[in-house]
Structure 1
Amino acid sequence: MIRRTVAAWNESARQRTAGVQWLVNRELVPEALGMLMVQELSGGARLPPHSLPGAESVTFLLSGKGDWLADGSAWQLTPGEGVFNPPGTRRAFETEKDRNAVLLVVYGGTNDPRNALPHAVNGGGCGCRISRTADHGKHSPLGEAGGFIDMGVHWLATSQTVGTRSVVVATSTFTPGGSHQLHRHPNADEFFLVLQGGGQHLTKDGPVRLNPGDLAYIPAGEWHGFQTDPGVTTRTVYGYLGAGSLAQAGYELLEEET
């Protein structure tokens, strides 16, 4: 497990210049099955149009407000919304004036996103907006997998919802008393970013504290879980790299010793 803290959550960081913070890339984690960054844009700033020929991505708005500049139109994004981009499609975003925006960008595929190509004209597609699909009932992916208490999930970008191949993004809410027992994904890495609340990231070697703005990155095959603080509701954004669904990532609960 690798723990990172997102600088945009740090009040002292408000004095710094907006920019990019890499949480996972192949220099930081050579064996990673994808890449992950947070980008903070100042009010009125624009992310220039660009495309990635060999990588798909999900852009998730953590805070602020702005417009995703689609072909001939603009999609307004508010926190908790985002866009999925298949390889080669146009990416462009403009923040609301006088208000910074913080984006979480999750990359899957073979292309390093730092090798982006300019995409100055419309055409070639611009991705699609992602929307929440609730996971509930015994026949849902997590319902069949089991191992959780008082945890709700909304899938945002999966192979079923928008056609991803190597990335999954979802949100989860742990109500007071909520937990997800130790489990692992043999075929995919996982990232887990606490947005609100807090609790204990569970490992076989003991718990690790996670506060708002803390991210846990879990390599494929590593046992992990989460326990929210007593009396606290914890909200997160999480996902998998190297798979397009929970089924592709694989899911195995740790059997309790008797």
Structure 2
Amino acid sequence: MILVPAAVPRTAPAFQRLIDPEQRPAVRAGLTVEALPPGVRVEQLPYESVESVTVVLSGRLIAAGRILSPGEALHHRPGTSYRLTAVRGAPTAVLTVRPTPPRAVIPAQRSGSAPAPSWRQVEVGTVRLDPVGVCGPYADRAADAFLVVLSGASSFLGELGEVPLLPGDLVYVRAGERYGLRAGRRGPVTAVLGRVGTPGATLGPEWDSRPMRSGQADPQG
């Protein structure tokens, strides 16, 4: 379990590496968070061999001709560039998830070449829990998992028991570790929950480049 307290910046501009594969070679993805000033545009360069996923944590973001709200994600195919624009009014915090497959399984590609059908490695969803509601605990041997608390006080359910979490906290767990979330008694909890599988694994439908809002997870898991 890797806990990053207060991972979501409240002021812009700001950038932070939350999970760095160079420092933690065993993780299956790199996670960064960035706070964009209102109205700013960001051009993201393509990554040839892996997808990248943009998740809105606060504020609103214009991408692929749509306005994304907190909890919504945009999946980018390998080799594609994209533009992000923060909506005016308040800073927008975005989480970027980029899988780090072993070098031996990274296919050789050139710009403009068609990516392999199994390019999807990341699944992202939004879970909403009523007071004292529970999601999990789960133990996925095929994927790493992460969660970011967007609102409400909660507790992480893991190998070390219950760990208190506040809005903005991030937790990353390796494949096989138990993870779950329990809402506090004073109010509901909203969190982003994600999984990062191995190359070639199918974690869900082909979302392509369309913004999506995953359905509510079953509070009883």
TM-score (ref. length: structure 1): 0.65
* Structure 2 residue runs without a partner (length 5+): 104-110, 205-221
What is the deviation of 1:38? 0.9
State the one-letter code of the partner of 1:55: V
User: Which structure shows the bigger proportion of residues in helix conformation?
Assistant: 1
Q: Is the 8 A contact 2:149 2:170 kept in 1?
A: yes
Distance in 1 between residues matched to 2:74 and 2:35, nearest whole Å: 17
1:4 — aligned with what?
A: 4
Q: Deviations over 1:185-242 (max 9, x none)?
A: 1111100111111221122332111111011111111122222112421110011112
2:203 — aligned with what?
A: 245
Greater length-normalized contact order (CA 8 Å, ≥ 6 residues apart): 2
Distance in 2 between residues matched to 1:21 and 1:90, nearest whole Å: 21
Classify 1:201/1:66 alpha carbon distance in 2 versus 1 (closer, same or farther; 3 Å): closer
Q: Is the 8 A contact 1:200 1:228 kept in 2?
A: yes
* Structure 1 residue runs without a partner (length 5+): 113-122, 126-161, 247-258
What is the deviation of 1:48? 1.8
What is the deviation of 1:23? 1.2
Classify 1:107/1:232 alpha carbon distance in 2 versus 1 (closer, same or farther; 3 Å): same
1:40 — aligned with what?
A: 35
1:83 — aligned with what?
A: 74
Classify 1:124/1:5 alpha carbon distance in 2 versus 1 (closer, same or farther; 3 Å): farther
State the one-letter code of the partner of 1:23: L
Q: Is the 8 A contact 1:4 1:214 kept in 2?
A: yes
2:94 — aligned with what?
A: 103
Classify 1:179/1:41 alpha carbon distance in 2 versus 1 (closer, same or farther; 3 Å): same
> Which of the two has higher C-alpha Rg?
1
2:147 — aligned with what?
A: 192
Count the aligned residue pairs: 191
What is the deviation of 1:164? 5.5
Classify 1:92/1:111 alpha carbon distance in 2 versus 1 (closer, same or farther; 3 Å): farther
TM-score (ref. length: structure 2): 0.75
Identity of aligned residues (%): 30
